[in-house]
A = this chain, B = another copy of it.
Amino acid sequence: MTGWVAVAGLGPGDEALVTPQVRAALDAASDVVGYIPYVARIAPRAGLRLHASDNRVELDRAAHALDMAAQGRRVVVVSSGDPGVFAMASALFEALEAGPQHWRALDIRVLPGITAMLAAAARAGAPLGHDFCAINLSDNLKPWALIEKRLRLAAEADFAMAFYNPRSKARPDGFARALEVLRTTCADARPVVFARAVSTPQEELRIVPLTEARPEMADMRTMVIVGSSLTRVIDTPRGPVIFTPRSA
């Protein structure tokens, strides 16, 4: 039997946001590989081996997946959200580039998913409705100076901005510095969305002006979205709705 690897996005949490394409890959898989909480989302069944691993071992996990596929296994590497956005797809290709030549002949597919920023944006309205950028605020793999440079240029370009991994126990201070950069470049009223665990029972949504944004409003399960200069909030009986007009 011919092996393959599918790097699949499970979306933000709600099973109704998993595409049929990803569901079909999981149904056809012999092995599922991924970070512990993502593998925990996969229902066990006969003939399916689950390989859960810890955070920060992405390259090992990718190599394991490629090695199993080379042995004829049908491997799904699971990511939350979309695998191509700050997730396992890049790690897999890094491992492919560094690995043995015969891996390059493998059948490797990336199956897109609903990424966190788009789930969060949909929940809040349409804050990413015009030109925007996505920035990973973690400085585990890149210098903080580069993050800060991108924040300044993104503000100057007047992009709406989506921040992944804004804050963690290991990185408690970076997001506070990011907010400081924004305060020096954006108007006080600039709306900021804190969207935590969107589409799960733990979902929390908050929309505040930049002056009221506080570092502790974010954790690792939070997407932060900052509007452009034209982003507006509409008050409704069902709560505030934020959107960026098409002319922004």
Contact = CB atoms under 8 A, between A and B. Distances in A.
A243 interface: yes
Interface stretch (A67-75, A85-93, A202-210): A85-93
Contacts of A245: 90, 94
A121 B84 contact: yes
Nearest to A85: B128
B141 A149 contact: no
Interface residues of A, number: 77
A236 B105 contact: yes
A194 interface: no
A224 to B, nearest CB: 14
Interface in A96-130: 96-97, 104-105, 107-115, 118-119, 121-123, 125-130
A105 B111 CA distance: 38
Interface stretch (A9-17, A174-182, A213-221): A9-17
Interface string A158-177: 11000000000000000000
Nearest to A247: B141
Nearest to A24: B16
A36 interface: no
Interface stretch (A27-35, A45-53, A132-140): A132-140
Interface in A59-86: 82-86
A22 B189 CA distance: 34
A133 B130 contact: no
Given A126-B90, A157-B149, A118 B84 contact: yes
Interface string A234-248: 111110010111111
Contacts of A115: 118
A17 B112 contact: yes
Contacts of A92: 126
B19 A141 contact: no
Given A21-B16, A21-B17, A24-B16, A111 B122 contact: yes
A103 to B, nearest CB: 9
15 contacts: A18-B20, A19-B114, A58-B246, A84-B128, A85-B128, A86-B129, A89-B126, A89-B243, A97-B232, A97-B234, A105-B238, A109-B122, A133-B157, A150-B158, A150-B159
